[in-house]
Chains A and B, each alone.
Chain A
């Protein structure tokens, strides 16, 4: 095991895009695949398609140097000559805000070995959600239809244009940079939004519970409330008694005022979001999200059918978009509406 890989492994770094996959494992898989191939790609997946998550933007604003350094660490680990291209996948806003500073930073002398291989890929205005899915993102860059690919093969072994591809979240690269310099302290970034006084992005220890995070940041509400953790679309909904757990996934906490939030509107928002963001590839996601949206807007809800579709989404969707819909819906019914 190389030095950096060992450090990453020992630090227990996990992907900060939401799936929390062990970073060392992913890097090792790309390196292993690269033994049989001549070139690899690195993609910084920083388009932040999940509503309610803002930490990638925060990192680009305040810690772009560390992100670039983390990417450089990855390039050195894979072999600078073997890295064909490094893409920063950004949404339109982030591109306009941060492209200049990122360019300046990667133009530094110490990264000269990678000159000419840094590039941006701007996310189109439509399909903002699914295009953040790793393999759909690969299709997007390749100019194919934006829809997820069958796995296996996984991107580390066969990613962009069939080559080994390392895709990580900006925060993951930031963590790598800290680990490389011995400065990693087990912190992560939390986005706190919704009905709170101090919305924003906070760096706090990764082991804190949701309640601790809210109290620590002075955001613990006085009024009865509930939270959605891990994104305003796919995040799990928890009530006030369930906050002793950590904020997993993409590390966002959205606070809803229990009395002032329209439960109906919230449900409708989620279901419309999924319907509009479905790429259309698989039956249950394309058709199921459409029917759910119809059902929730009907004068009387067909309960049995509603839950049948929700179950089938988690059971038979092609990708995480389809099977993440049941997460907010079920937990909202279970933890809020039933109480």
Chain B
């Protein structure tokens, strides 16, 4: 059907909204609460448009097009209502721009710039609101919240239902549910869907800046598989662009003494996990299914909501903990550095890893293996803050002792990637053991790929039929639970799409963008000559070294325990606003 927007003829399909059609035609309509992942709520009232013969303005996000509609996106009426609504929203949001990691990429500030908004027209009204902090991972700052409710829905979609809207009218606020049945799993999907960074990671960038300046320390950075395919978006590159080389250089420029690739750690994880899978398959008393445990939000979920499943979790540590272990033992020894001088900073697409890094089992000689965790967003912020022209950086490389991993490591950040990596290696190990070298060369397990919420397959492992399942987004876990026992091996990633859609990734993250990042990862895998973890010689050398030196329990394996409700209380903090003197 055809219609007119700002007197320009455009066409669209039945069922499309005005916003859909406008964006297809590059006609700008601003929005805040709209997010393609979520239900249309139309509560921010920023996308209002005027339609001829309609008594009131309509929200473009929620109004379906009709043939012959005449729509105006910037008429005087629209301007008045839209600008006022934006000004009123600014009065809900205390501008903490100076140290806000969204400052270079802020939807609100962009609106202010585009429409010449008087951001201080109304006095701030939420200055006394508290901030809720969840472990070291995520926080919800009530002084910045614009009541769009995106975080609540994102949490609901994860199946956690930890957040709710309390109160009404001007007293409405997002609060965590304070009981023994609900707990935050730190996934950060709230932060990924918050348009104004009221829900966000607990930033550590300034602490990292400080420690970089400390000359008594050797500060090393390591970055995760999913960071390289998304960081470019912050600098205008298409989602999925492989920025491994620029990331090395950028981190060096920021002052890190050494840069490693967590992909190397992912190969360690694969090796450890595949060996465990083979062990379990050999043991008639072994617990099945084995599940992955590299997603710390999934671990937090299992420890709280399903402690009965903890024996199912693989004891293999997660990639950045694995590589940090390699750095603080193997690398330190080879370089003759006191491990206590080494500070490891992980750059990850994840908020839950901030919590994971503080877990008491993941320490070496009393100190955490990973000292600081930054999200992809925090890294982008630091790069921008230091005026580094990311796009123009010459590609760098990491330390020669460790490499940037196999192709199997590259796909770790995609849902199904961890499983495929483990299957590649487990299959080879099983085939070698069973003297069926014909099957040993199998590389790809495409049946576990893709963005479907729940993927199931039966794969042939040296003649044994292995039933596998992949949970893509924790909201899909409940669909799997009733048939949990029927599988041998299950991958669970808390965030939709896997780490590439993680809570620490750049905004926006949408289905389209997740798919582009995913394709980027599989392209890296395809381009690699070494595509299986056990073929990564440097990793195998380290792996054998760790085992020979009896470090398995210190750097390769971990354990889990049921979350006591007493611990839970200590992980949830309510802090008063620093503006509360007002």
Contact = CB atoms under 8 A, between A and B. Distances in A.
A230 interface: no
B169 interface: yes
B481 interface: no
A146 B167 CA distance: 10
A280 B170 contact: yes
A316 B165 CA distance: 22
Given A282-B45, A315-B81, A150 B40 contact: yes
A209 interface: no
Interface string A303-326: 000001101101111100001000
Interface in B146-177: 146-147, 164-165, 167-172
Interface stretch (B86-94, B207-215, B441-449): B86-94
Interface stretch (A167-175, A216-224, A261-269, A287-295): A287-295
A126 B168 CA distance: 9
A83 interface: no
B57 A275 contact: no
A179 B44 CA distance: 44
Given A127-B168, A275-B169, A280 B147 contact: yes
Interface residues of A, number: 32
B84 interface: yes
A163 interface: no
Given A275-B170, A283-B45, A314 B56 contact: yes
Contacts of A314: 56
Contacts of A64: none
B45 A150 contact: no
A286 B56 contact: no
B43 A318 contact: yes
B85 A283 contact: yes
A311 B77 CA distance: 9
A281 B88 contact: no
B363 to A, nearest CB: 43
A314 B170 CA distance: 19
Given A280-B172, A283-B89, A323-B56, A150 B42 contact: yes
Interface string A121-147: 000001100100000000000000110
Nearest to B166: A145
Contacts of B91: 287
B104 interface: no
B16 to A, nearest CB: 15
A31 interface: no
B235 interface: no
Interface in B25-47: 40-46
Interface in B51-75: 56-57, 62
A281 B147 CA distance: 7
A281 B43 contact: yes
A25 B390 CA distance: 62
B85 A312 contact: yes
Interface in A230-284: 275-284
B48 interface: yes
A277 B170 CA distance: 10
A142 B48 CA distance: 29
B45 A278 contact: no
Nearest to A277: B169
Interface residues of B, number: 33
A130 B164 CA distance: 19
Contacts of A308: 80, 84
A126 B171 CA distance: 13
A278 B169 contact: yes
Interface string B543-579: 0000000000000000000000000000000000000
Contacts of A315: 48, 56-57, 77, 80-81
B60 to A, nearest CB: 12
Contact of B84 (A276, A280, A289, A312): A312
Nearest to A290: B170
A35 B48 CA distance: 36
Contact of B57 (A280, A289, A316): A316
A283 B44 contact: yes
Contacts of B77: 315
A130 B169 CA distance: 11
Contacts of B43: 281-283, 318
Interface in B115-129: 122, 125
A92 to B, nearest CB: 18
A259 B92 CA distance: 41
A127 B41 CA distance: 20
A277 B171 CA distance: 11
Given A280-B167, A309-B84, A290 B57 contact: no
A288 B171 CA distance: 14
Contact of A287 (B40, B41, B92, B164): B92
B172 A318 contact: no
**Looking at B40, B77, B164, which has the most chain A CB atoms within 10 Å of its CB?**
B77
A72 to B, nearest CB: 36
B152 to A, nearest CB: 9
Nearest to A152: B64
B80 A311 contact: yes
B56 A318 contact: no
B544 to A, nearest CB: 57
Interface in A168-192: none
B80 A312 contact: yes
A312 B81 contact: yes
A291 B88 CA distance: 9
B43 to A, nearest CB: 5
A279 B85 contact: no
A279 B169 contact: yes
A114 to B, nearest CB: 35
A146 B168 contact: yes
Interface string B531-544: 00000000000000
Contacts of B48: 315-316
B437 to A, nearest CB: 57
Contacts of B57: 315-316
A288 B89 CA distance: 10
A280 B169 contact: yes
Contacts of B41: 150
B44 A150 contact: no
A305 to B, nearest CB: 8
Contacts of B125: 287, 290
A247 B80 CA distance: 33
Contacts of A318: 42-43, 45
A281 B62 CA distance: 15
A287 B43 CA distance: 12
Interface string A94-132: 000000000000000000000000000000001100100
**Looking at A279, A284, A311, A312, which has the most chain B CB atoms within 10 Å of its CB?**
A312
Contacts of A284: 45, 81, 84-85, 88
Contact of A311 (B81, B92, B172): B81
B466 to A, nearest CB: 40
Nearest to B44: A283
Contacts of B169: 275-280, 286, 289-290
Interface in B414-443: none
B408 to A, nearest CB: 45
Given A290-B170, A316-B57, 12 more contacts: A275-B169, A280-B170, A280-B172, A281-B147, A286-B147, A287-B91, A288-B84, A291-B122, A308-B80, A316-B45, A316-B56, A317-B56
Interface of B: 40-46, 48, 56-57, 62, 77, 80-82, 84-85, 88-89, 91-92, 122, 125, 146-147, 164-165, 167-172
User: Nearest 5 A-B pairs (CB), nearest first?
Assistant: A280-B172, A287-B88, A316-B81, A278-B169, A312-B81
Interface of A: 126-127, 130, 145-146, 150, 275-284, 286-291, 308-309, 311-312, 314-318, 323
13 contacts: A150-B41, A275-B169, A278-B168, A278-B169, A280-B170, A280-B172, A283-B45, A283-B147, A286-B170, A289-B169, A315-B77, A316-B82, A318-B42
